[in-house]
Structure 1
Amino acid sequence: MVRNQQGNGGPVQFRHRMEGLTTLVQGHRHSFGNLTDLFIPEDGRHRHTFQGITTTADGHRHTYSGQTGLNIGRGANHFHRFRIQTNIADGHRHIISGRTTGLIRLGGVVGHRLIIESIKRKRVK
């Protein structure tokens, strides 16, 4: 998230999409995809935190979390590089690396392509 601004439809958040394939380990790879989370200012530049879970491959999946590198470029077209290791699952881990997309604007009057699951509430007696 870059900055919260007030749009016509409420607060606007700016994030980056991250997606790709892990490194090949023990004959398989996993896909990963997530949006960046927290915006962390640093000496006039910034980073983002991120977290996610890979797809299932070879009967297991991996969780991951980390921080992007500092922004490369400025404004709407800037991006971040990232390189981290997943958590260990089934006795091994993979490397996730790449670069984020440019900014994605969420909220306000601009739509987005995320699938939001509905939440059903149950009354507890």
Structure 2
Amino acid sequence: MAIIITDECINCGACEPECPNTAIYEGGVEWTWAGGTALTEVELGDGSTMDAKAPIEPVSEEFYYIVPDKCTECTGFHEEPQCAAVCPVDCCVPDPDHVEDKDTLLAKKAWLHAE
């Protein structure tokens, strides 16, 4: 399951540097697959590919946000999601729309950080 940042976020930014996948971005900031990963090209759901460095529209304009397809809940890096551990207002919570088991999270980690 990915983590989501709720609208209770105070935009302190404590979570962003803690993410080993660079899946957390400031509100309004475009994100990329390449940021913090080993990816150079990404295959999309429709079979097409895109440059991993290509900017993608922000998930949120107002608050820090987590890209669910890059979030591994810190599986393979830490015992618990680090964003949730450092959040002063407890707004980093499990995302019920992106539920994944440990094996899936480990496979995602391996994909993001393949050498």
State the TM bucket, normalised to the shorter chain: under 0.3
> Please, what TM-score do these two structures have when normalized by structure 1?
0.23
> Please, what TM-score do these two structures have when normalized by structure 2?
0.25
Greater strand proportion: 1
- Greater Cα radius of gyration, structure 1 or 2: 1
Greater helix proportion: 2
